[in-house]
């Protein structure tokens, strides 16, 4: 397993309330948003590649749904060419890009501790605790999918329990189950703040779609910054981790 050298640095820590956490997240994101955009561009390019390989065309499907005139009773997603394969590969992509989220959190902590940031830092999740990051991504993805199939609102109420998973995996080198358990226990004791941070952070993350579709590239990564700020608020500012090459 990779070895890390930890050292203390100065850095800001938000209070344990939603407003302070979101404000802290904004301050952090202003310094690292370009790295968040890079992560999103990588994800989108991979997504377009999957559409090309599978032959699935999301634009055509939207046109078919529009032509249905609001009557979707006879519309079947599974009959759309390439949809089932696209769905499978997209799920796999979601798991494989999870280390990028961890890398962004790592970069945020470097920014907060005023450490030098390297572009390679974005990919540290593929070196540090990689297997557990993938396992956690699968577990959290299943939990989120189940919540989404029930209704959108259960997803909102479930997601706060997953909020600390990725920071714990990175800063504490925990196993996937340890990260899930610790995140759940802390969220359970502070659920109102976690829910507030999730709702506000989520709204900001999807604001790019509402304001200007392509703007999602800039706003979507904000939720990763919220995860870091929540970690700082409830577990303290983590020591900066220096990877030994």
Question: Is the residue at 95 inside a domain?
Answer: yes
71-100 burial: b if 16+ Cβ within 10 Å, else e: eeeeeeeeebebbeebeebeeeeeeebbbb
What residue spans of 55-127 are helical by DSSP H? Answer: 58-67, 83-96, 98-112
Question: Is the residue at 10 inside a domain?
Answer: no
Judged by DSSP in three states, 197 sits in helix
**Residues 51-75: tens digit of each pLDDT:** 788 776 666 655 655 655 555 555 5
Number of domains in the chain: 1
- Inter-residue contact 128 to 170 (CB < 8 Å): yes
**Residues 10-37: tens digit of each pLDDT:** 678 999 999 999 999 999 999 999 999 9
Tokens of 122: 């974005």
Question: Is the residue at 125 inside a domain?
Answer: yes
Question: Is the residue at 170 inside a domain?
Answer: yes
Pairwise CA distance, residues 155 & 52, whole Å: 30
Question: Is the residue at 8 inside a domain?
Answer: no
- What residue ranges in the chain does DSSP mark as E strands? 4-7, 240-243
Domain, as residue range, for 92: 17-234
Pairwise CA distance, residues 186 & 156, whole Å: 17
Tokens of 77: 């997603």
From the CB of residue 191, how many other CB atoms can be counted at a distance below 10 Å?
Answer: 13
**Residues 174-195: tens digit of each pLDDT:** 999 999 999 999 999 999 999 9
């Amino acid at each position: 397993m990779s070895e890390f050298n930890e050292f203390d640095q100065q850095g800001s820590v938000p209070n344990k309330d939603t407003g302070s956490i979101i404000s802290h997240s904004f301050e952090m994101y202003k310094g690292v948003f370009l790295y968040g955009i890079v992560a999103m561009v990588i994800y989108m390019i991979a997504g377009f590649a999957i559409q090309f390989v599978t032959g699935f065309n999301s634009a055509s499907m939207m046109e078919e749904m529009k032509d249905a005139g609001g009557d979707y009773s006879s519309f079947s997603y599974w009959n759309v060419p390439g949809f089932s394969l696209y769905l499978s590969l997209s799920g796999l992509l979601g798991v494989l890009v999870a280390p990028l989220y961890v890398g962004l959190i790592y970069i945020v902590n470097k920014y907060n501790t005023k450490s030098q940031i390297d572009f390679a830092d974005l990919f540290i999740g593929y070196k540090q605790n990689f297997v557990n990051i993938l396992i956690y991504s699968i577990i959290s993805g299943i939990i989120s999918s189940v919540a989404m199939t029930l209704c959108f609102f259960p997803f909102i109420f479930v997601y706060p329990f997953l909020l600390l998973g990725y920071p714990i995996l990175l800063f504490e080198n925990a196993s996937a189950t340890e990260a899930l358990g610790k995140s759940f226990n802390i969220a359970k004791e502070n659920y109102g703040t976690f829910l507030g941070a999730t709702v506000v952070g989520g709204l900001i993350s999807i604001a790019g779609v509402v304001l200007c579709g392509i703007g999602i590239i800039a706003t979507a990564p904000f939720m990763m910054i919220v995860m870091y700020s929540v970690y700082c608020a409830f577990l303290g500012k983590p020591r900066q981790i220096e990877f030994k090459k």
